[in-house]
A = this chain, B = another copy of it.
Amino acid sequence: MTLYLNLAELLGARIEQGLYRPGQRLPSVRALSMEHGVSLSTVQQAYRMLEDSGMVSPRPKSGYFVSDHRQLAALPAVSRPAQRPVDISQWEQVLELVRSTPRQDVIQLGRGMPDIDSPTLKPLLRSLAQLSRRQDMPGLYYDNIHGNLALREQIARLMLDSGCRLGPADLVVTTGCHEALSCSIRAVCQPGDIVAVDSPSFHGAMQTLKGLGMKALEIPTDPVTGISLEALELALEQWPIKLIQITPSCNNPLGYIMPEPRKKALLSLAQRYDVAILEDDVYGDLAYTYPRPRTVKSFDDDGRVLLCSSFSKTLAPGLRIGWVAPGRYLERVLHMKYISTGSTATQPQLAIADFIAAGHYQPHVRRMRSQYQRGRDLMSDWVTRYFPPGTRVSRPQGGFMLWVELPEHFDTLRLNRALLEQGVQVAVGSIFSASGKFRHCLRMNFAARATPQIEAAVRKVGETAHGLLDEALIPA
């Protein structure tokens, strides 16, 4: 499993060190196979991985070349979190982020908002409007606690792309992915239980653990391959972990897609230690490559994976429609769903079911995928250009979030305060850690179509960071 990863890492390092320059041809598959004593397919896998991360591009019949459209900044370091379960802090910072109402005078690069201005969303709005005009007003009733059947059928169809074979009865519709996550965590864990999480990790899930009285054990995570299985296994040996909570496809905030063999290995680990897996797949359909990556859930044969997702990133967050495929925890999740919100709002469920059934979902997501990929390239370039030297940047393989790592003692809370006066906000890194690590990191959103205003905002972030670094160098 690790052969191709090692090779990909080695090649990646050589490119970053400048051994191969942008636009140059890389060694052939055959040559590398002989040099490293590995099979041709191992080399191909390594190249495919580098291709996914944007470092190399294939040219038909000529082999692989170093991508020349931009100079890639170094990747963020593998995280080294505390090696014990901790109580979760950082609610104040999260609250600051989510309390904000969209303001005309602030460019908000911090929140997880998709672009909702696409004309491909129009049919969804039409359908919402039509539902409101119907005489029998179906959108005003309570729906079944499982969620609307037509919608569950459509979700089951969409999930085939991620390798999941599920029926509508295996699904529970929720009020956004947030509710899917909190019902799942509560279905599996009791207060005081330990949950292993990737690191950095989505602040919403982290705050859910906090609110429910659980402890988080942050596991070192690689910015390309995801959670370290070696570190996870050590943790499983050492601690009575009840649940592993991860976002393996188009991770938030790092953007990686965990390679399929590692997803399988993760599941085996969970089976060996008999723990449940909460798989957050909310960005999964926004992978830049098609077909989209498989979910861990798709390999699950004993119902231990609770797959959570929503339409908040693919369609629109204001609809608050998510779902969970809770496997063996279905009955518990239903109870948690019932006490959490009773049932899910009816009208947006009906509208989304119509939208998918009429064939509008795939074209919309296809369009957003390529827009987001272009957004990633642009924003990565801007960071390379405007941020202090030594800044490290993630290479997202899906979604619309960039993770930026500044020098070690940098304080992004201070940065954000200085930025507010200039009408820009980012998400500070510390909210992505249970223990407030990643203070020197930040997350920026590149969902919106690029404009000079957004470039200017990113430039402000970079220049303000520069300024704060320079200040720190002046002796008091």
Contacts and interface: CB of A to CB of B under 8 A. Distances in A.
B143 A318 contact: yes
Interface centre among A100, A121, A128 (most CB of B within 10 A): A128
Contacts of A340: 178-179, 182, 340-341
Contacts of A338: 94-95, 98, 178, 204, 207, 211
Interface stretch (A9-17, A131-139, A257-265, A466-474): A131-139
Contacts of A336: 211
A94 B335 CA distance: 10
Interface stretch (A65-73, A144-152, A367-375): A144-152
Contact of A211 (B186, B191, B211): B186
A146 B95 CA distance: 10
B142 A318 contact: yes
Interface stretch (A56-64, A343-351, A388-396, A410-418): A343-351
A210 B149 CA distance: 27
Contacts of A341: 175-176, 178-179, 320, 340-341
A210 B334 CA distance: 13
Given A140-B116, A335-B211, A342 B145 contact: no
Interface residues of A, number: 66
A102 B139 CA distance: 12
A29 to B, nearest CB: 46
A266 interface: no
Contacts of A339: 178, 182, 204, 207-208, 210-212
Contact of A191 (B95, B190, B343): B190
A347 to B, nearest CB: 6
A203 to B, nearest CB: 10
Contacts of A175: 175, 179, 320, 341, 345
A319 B111 CA distance: 25
A137 B125 contact: yes
A345 B316 contact: no
A146 B99 contact: yes
Interface centre among A146, A176, A335, A341 (most CB of B within 10 A): A341
A342 B141 contact: no
A427 to B, nearest CB: 14
A176 B342 CA distance: 8
A449 interface: no
Contacts of A328: none
Nearest to A205: B339
Interface in A297-351: 316-320, 334-336, 338-348
Interface in A116-130: 116-117, 121, 125-126, 128-130
A101 interface: yes
A204 B342 contact: yes
A382 interface: no
A376 to B, nearest CB: 22
A339 to B, nearest CB: 4
Interface string A161-203: 0000000000000011111001000100011000000000000
Contact of A133 (B129, B186, B213): B129
Interface centre among A191, A317, A342 (most CB of B within 10 A): A342
Given A133-B125, A348-B345, A140 B100 contact: no
When A and B form their complex, which 3 residue pairs have the shortest distance between CB atoms, in order from nearest? A140-B316, A178-B342, A318-B346
Given A95-B338, A142-B317, 4 more contacts: A111-B142, A128-B132, A178-B339, A191-B191
10 contacts: A94-B338, A98-B142, A101-B144, A137-B316, A143-B318, A204-B342, A207-B339, A212-B339, A341-B341, A345-B345
Interface of A: 91, 94-95, 98-102, 111, 113, 116-117, 121, 125-126, 128-130, 132-133, 137-146, 149, 175-179, 182, 186, 190-191, 204, 207-208, 210-213, 316-320, 334-336, 338-348
